[in-house]
Amino acid sequence: MKTQPEKIIIFDTTLRDGEQCPGATLNIDEKLAIAKQLARLGVDVIEAGFAFASPGDFEAVNKIAQIVGTENGPVICSLARARQEDIKAAAQAIEPAAKKRIHTFIATSDIHLKYKLRKSRQEVLAIAEEMVAYAKSFTDDIEFSPEDAGRSDPEFLYEVLERAIAAGATTVNIPDTVGYTTPTEFGGLIKGIKENVPNINQAIISVHGHNDLGLAVANFLEAVKNGARQLECTINGIGERAGNAALEELVMALHVRRQYFNPFLGRPTESEEPLTNIDTKQIYRTSRMVSNLTGMLVQPNKAIVGANAFAHESGIHQDGVLKNKLTYEIMDAQLIGLTENQIVLGKHSGRNAFRTRLRELGYEPTETELNKAFVRFKEVADKKKEITDWDLEAIVNDEIQQA
Ligand code: KIV
Ligand code: ZN
């Protein structure tokens, strides 16, 4: 029997679903750099890619398994359709990891069965069962997803999940593939699964959701209240179409409102014990790295990691914050790894302060790169009263990463 985790498992799919968004393609070295940073961030599982998709994807998953998948590191996972050739490639790619998972999926909604798979429910049931058992011959840790669960007939879903768990699935992931459900519906779906799948306690319930209606994070929080213990998410919420649930938003919602969520995890309301293993101080740095490497810009008003997330512009707000930050801030900028005061450097600042701040932001420039960037910094500082972290990021992009 799978024991239920004490904390919420954070499953990061930036390198798989995140990379599926148009324009976000990453090379192997970039994927490896992100995987290392995800490990520093403290994610429990890294979905490193879709090994069967291309030789490059296979190599990236394999390299991440070798280098990041250490004994104390995260579980390394590869996606695989419910087909033998996919599952075999996934198993080979993750082989070097100390902790490895195969994530296999097949659609269960009638729309997908009729138009995409052209298969009956009975056929899908048999494939799910057979392919989970096949995956289990390579590793114990098996995740099964009924794709488009959000639009599937719940009775059929219960049956598929029961059979997948009986065949060896240790995590059952419930995807809202097209971001269609509302929070109450999604929470109800998880509740229904808990109540109607007889062997559900032998597996961890996971959720995966897209942001087509901007509801993915809200849906996940309802899912947690109803028994979900693994959240599949991406840095900055990147992913197919409107993206996935954003890791930083989920983690900070669970952190800032932990007393609200504690009872749903069977903890005393007042408990200060973190709900996830994430080192929140690594959030900002990870967000910047993913944005820089994928070229996917973060909108200024994006929750948690947007440029304006901790900025106060109006006089009334500035006055309030100067008197007491609690008036307009529900979390400290330092919690996500930003300096408390983002206005730290100006035209009078020296090289040392400049270098120190770059290091705090995760950059290790060589002497030559530093010299170039410092000249540019002084030019910008002459024109701007305030040099923010976002100006520094732009300078680094122009002068260091392209050097
Ligand atoms: O959105 C989705 O359904 C997926 C599955 C492969 C989990 O990405
Ligand atoms: Zn997805």
How do residues 185-242 score in pLDDT, each as one tens digit? 999 999 999 999 999 999 999 999 999 999 999 999 999 999 999 999 999 999 999 9
Q: For ligand 1, say whether the CB of 234 is within 6 Å of any of its atoms.
A: no
Q: Write the pLDDT tens digit of every residue in 312-339.
A: 767 687 678 778 888 988 999 999 998 7
Q: Which residue's CA lies nearest to atom 8 of ligand 1?
A: 17
* H-only helix segments in 313-366: 315-323, 351-360
The question of ipTM being above 0.90 is answered as: yes
Give pLDDT, residue 1: 57
Q: Write the pLDDT tens digit of every residue in 98-124.
A: 999 999 999 999 999 999 999 999 999
What value does the mean pLDDT of the chain take?
93
Q: Which residues contact 226 (CB under 8 A, 6 or more apart)?
A: 187, 188, 190, 191, 194
The percentage of the chain sitting over the pLDDT mark of 90, rounded to a whole number, equals: 77
pTM (predicted TM-score): 0.87
Atom of ligand 1 nearest to the CA of 79: 6
Q: Which of 148, 177, 220 to mutate to test the pocket of ligand 1 (most atoms within 8 A of CB)?
A: 177
Q: For ligand 1, say whether the CB of 103 is within 6 Å of any of its atoms.
A: no
Give pLDDT, residue 382: 87
Give pLDDT, residue 207: 98
Confidence of residue 397 (pLDDT cuts 50, 70, 90): confident
Q: For ligand 1, say whether the CB of 177 is within 6 Å of any of its atoms.
A: yes
Three-state DSSP class for residue 292: helix
Q: Which residues contact 325 (CB under 8 A, 6 or more apart)?
A: 332
Q: For ligand 1, say whether the CB of 17 is within 6 Å of any of its atoms.
A: yes
pLDDT above 70: residue 18:
yes
